């Protein structure tokens, strides 16, 4: 039956086993990539392997239904849904390019996936404002920098200057970086497999290149591998505990960047785009949490 006939019959397009084998889709999805989904995709792969058969629309729909019932935080469920959709898009593109999947079937599957969020809505996430306990002040950052090793200091400086996610730092590739005058442009891949460009001073970029000597990645180990996201997070956490006596992670540097940029520039949409948020409303919910003081709340003209 053709895809047109399938739609007219009310059926969902799918990956037919004779066209795309089950393991070829999962292999493409589980391949390590420079995004934030390497850990989050494992749950879906385990679900699909246990279910067996082709990886089709019903597989994804069934996983989303099951995921909604799991005892995970709603934020975790949202990330895992995004991870599945992002990796599936990459898998479909790769299989289509190799001729392992018909172009029309791929288009029909993407169309069906677009309906999935309406058919199986994700649980609502209540955006909680980022509190002062997760923000690093400038004087605290300076103290961390003074106590850090040369390498840890450059990692801290990059996170502080860009507000990027740790996975974006570890995935930054040298061959894509470009120095333009006094600014270095660094493309990174963030959530949803979306690419954006970070900008840092060329002097910081030169210092990173001189220290890490990477051949492929900007932050590269002596063995030629990208720095581990977990390693970077643990180094920041350890340093904050020892120097400041506070429980702060690497993501606190992202929160700190967003907070000070909004306060300094007032450009919420610009900060949102630079951070890679899907919507300025997310940025506002997290970082624009002003409160009315008493002298602002009580109008003097109302009297005592």
Same domain, 139 and 268: yes
The CATH code of the domain that includes 279 is 1.10.443.10
- The reply to whether 81 and 140 lie within a common domain is no
Residue finishing a domain among 119, 147, 168 = 119
Output the pLDDT for position 41.
87
CA-based torsion, 199, 251, 228, 48: positive or negative: negative
Residue 99 exposed, middle or buried by CB count within 10 Å (0-12, 13-18, 19+): exposed
Give pTM, 2 decimals: 0.58
Domain shared by 144 and 270, yes or no:
yes
Does 61 lie in the same domain as 28? Answer: yes
For residues 172 and 225, membership in a common domain is answered with yes
The pLDDT assigned to 203 comes to 95
Task: Indicate whether 35 and 176 sit together in one domain.
Answer: no
List phi, psi (to 5°) of 160: -65, -40
Which of the listed residues 94, 119, 144 is the one where a domain comes to its end? 119
What pLDDT is stored for residue 268 in this prediction? 86
pLDDT in tens, 204-248: 999 999 999 999 999 999 888 999 888 999 999 999 999 999 988
The residue among 81, 98, 119 that closes a domain is 119
37: three-class secondary structure by DSSP: coil
- Going from the C-alpha of 270 to that of each of 189, 229, 258, the distances in angstroms are 18, 26, 10
At residue 17, the pLDDT reads 32
* Domain assignment present for 293: no
Tell me, yes or no, whether 298 lies in a domain. no
Encoded tokens for 98: 């190799």
Task: Give the residues across from 181 on adjacent strands.
Answer: none
301 in a structural domain: no
Count of structural domains, the chain = 2
Q: DSSP strand E in the chain: where?
A: 178-180, 183-189, 195-201
195-201/183-189 β-pairing = antiparallel
Query: What distance, in Å, lies between the first and last C-alpha atoms of the chain?
Result: 78
Nearest to 152, CA basis, from 272, 32, 237, 65: 237
Q: Under DSSP, is residue 121 helix (H, G, I), strand (E, B) or coil?
A: coil
pLDDT tens digits in sequence order for the chain, 304 residues long: 344 343 444 444 444 333 344 567 788 888 877 676 888 888 899 998 888 877 888 888 899 999 988 887 777 888 888 888 888 888 888 878 887 777 777 787 777 777 778 888 877 765 566 777 788 999 999 999 999 999 999 999 999 999 999 999 999 999 999 999 999 999 998 887 789 999 999 999 999 999 999 999 999 998 889 998 889 999 999 999 999 999 888 989 999 998 888 888 888 888 888 988 877 777 777 776 555 455 555 556 655 5
The domain containing residue 216 runs over which residues? 132-287
What was the pLDDT predicted at 23? 66
Nearest alpha carbon to residue 192 among 57, 72, 35, 302:
35
Give pLDDT tens digits for 68-86.
888 877 778 888 888 888 8
Are 162 and 257 contacting, i.e. CB atoms less than 8 angstroms apart? yes
pLDDT at 20: 42
Which strands, in side-by-side order, build the sheet including 195-201?
A: 178-180, 183-189, 195-201
């Amino acid at each position: 039956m053709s895809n047109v006939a399938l739609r007219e019959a009310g059926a969902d397009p799918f990956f037919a086993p004779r066209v795309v084998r089950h393991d070829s889709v999962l292999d493409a999805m589980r391949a390590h990539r420079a995004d934030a989904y390497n850990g989050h995709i494992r749950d879906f792969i385990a679900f699909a392997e246990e279910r067996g058969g082709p990886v089709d629309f019903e597989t994804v729909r069934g996983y989303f239904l099951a995921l909604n019932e799991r005892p995970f935080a709603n934020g975790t469920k949202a990330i895992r849904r995004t991870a599945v959709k992002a990796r599936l898009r990459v898998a479909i593109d790769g299989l289509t390019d190799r001729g392992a999947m018909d172009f029309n079937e791929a288009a029909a599957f993407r169309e069906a996936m677009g309906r999935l969020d309406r058919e199986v809505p994700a649980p609502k996430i209540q955006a909680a404002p980022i509190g002062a306990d997760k923000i690093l002040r400038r004087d605290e950052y300076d103290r961390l920098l003074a106590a850090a090793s040369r390498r840890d200091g450059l990692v801290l400086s990059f996170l502080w200057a860009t507000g990027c996610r740790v996975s974006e730092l570890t995935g930054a590739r040298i061959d894509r970086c470009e120095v333009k005058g006094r600014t270095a442009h660094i493309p990174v891949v963030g959530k949803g497999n979306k690419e954006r460009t970070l900008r840092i001073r060329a002097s910081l970029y030169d210092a990173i290149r001189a220290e890490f000597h990477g051949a492929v990645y900007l932050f590269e180990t002596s063995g030629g591998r990208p720095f581990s996201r977990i390693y970077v997070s643990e180094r920041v956490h350890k340093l904050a505990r020892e120097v400041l006596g506070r429980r702060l992670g690497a993501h606190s540097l992202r929160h700190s960047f967003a907070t000070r940029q909004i306060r300094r520039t007032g450009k919420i949409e610009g900060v949102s785009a630079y951070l890679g948020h899907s919507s300025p409303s997310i940025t506002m919910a997290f970082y624009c949490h002003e409160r009315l003081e008493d002298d602002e709340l009580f109008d003097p003209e109302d009297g005592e």
